[in-house]
Amino acid sequence: MQDDGVPFDDRGLAYGDGLFETVLVRDGQPLLWEAHVARLQRGCERLGIPCPGRDLLAALPGRAGSGLAVLKLIVTRGSGGRGYLPPAEPEPRYRWRATPFAPQETRWREGVTIRLCDLRLARQPALAGIKHLNRLENVLARREWDDPAIAEGVLLDAEEHVVETTSMNLFWHRAGRWETPALDACGVAGTLREGLRQRLPIAAVTAGVDALMQADSLWLGNSVQGLWPVRRLLDARGGERQAWPLPSPSARTLQDAAHELLGYPRLTD
């Protein structure tokens, strides 16, 4: 049901018991829509929450209006009383909002500075890949810096494996191939990541920070922002760990593929 308020006993509010999707919409047409719906369905199945029907979901992007917008859909298990035990027959609650959006085009072209985070992600395969509402780890990691010159923070897991940044997936080119972190223990399997892996040979690997040091280019991206090249990687204290030159046109193949999926311009044209 669509609800104008969130009741006190909503399990999404009380426990983070739910999921969300953030979709780029251009003139009412959603980008990577099937991948977003599929991930939402996987998440609902994993958590045991009835998924909104396809007809209901399909009607939402058209309400985003003209131009470029971001549609955010939140699905919770609904109300559930006290205690962690979920209701046997949940009545899911959903909320959505569309807001105008302008991508940060300078970051596409000139790249960004990122840092390593102190926080370590817990390994929990039962939640790996899905976009659930319990994002306290990301919140705490994002609180580690307030310098606007630092675009993102790299998150490692408890075994020191690179996973993602606070809101984007990572990609790098090393030893002649594209790689991205394996997300079988934690992290969000982004829809842009999924789309790129369907188009290009991108290996999902378990690797530490050394893999980033060995890369000849490092990128981060998601289905809203597109793909940003990384120019500098800092440690958690602000010291420089690695720097990369601005990618040449031939090194932007991954970005070109990402932007084609999202309707953004190719920077090699």
Residues with a catalytic annotation lie at: 22, 131, 164
DSSP code, position 122 = P
Both tokens of 1, joined, read 């049901």
- Alpha helix ranges (H) inside the chain: 11-15, 33-47, 54-59, 105-110, 136-142, 191-199, 209-214, 253-262
Are the C-beta atoms of 72 and 17 separated by less than 8 Å? no
**3-class secondary structure, 173:** strand
Are the C-beta atoms of 169 and 221 separated by less than 8 Å? yes
Are the C-beta atoms of 90 and 80 separated by less than 8 Å? yes
Q: In whole angstroms, what is the distance from residue 80 CA to residue 256 CA?
A: 46
- Let me know the angle formed at the C-alpha of 258 by 198 and 45, rounded to the nearest 5 degrees: 50
Q: In whole angstroms, what is the distance from residue 53 CA to residue 15 CA?
A: 24
Of 169, 59, 74, the closest CA to residue 114 belongs to 169
Are the C-beta atoms of 101 and 9 separated by less than 8 Å? no
Residues, the chain: 269
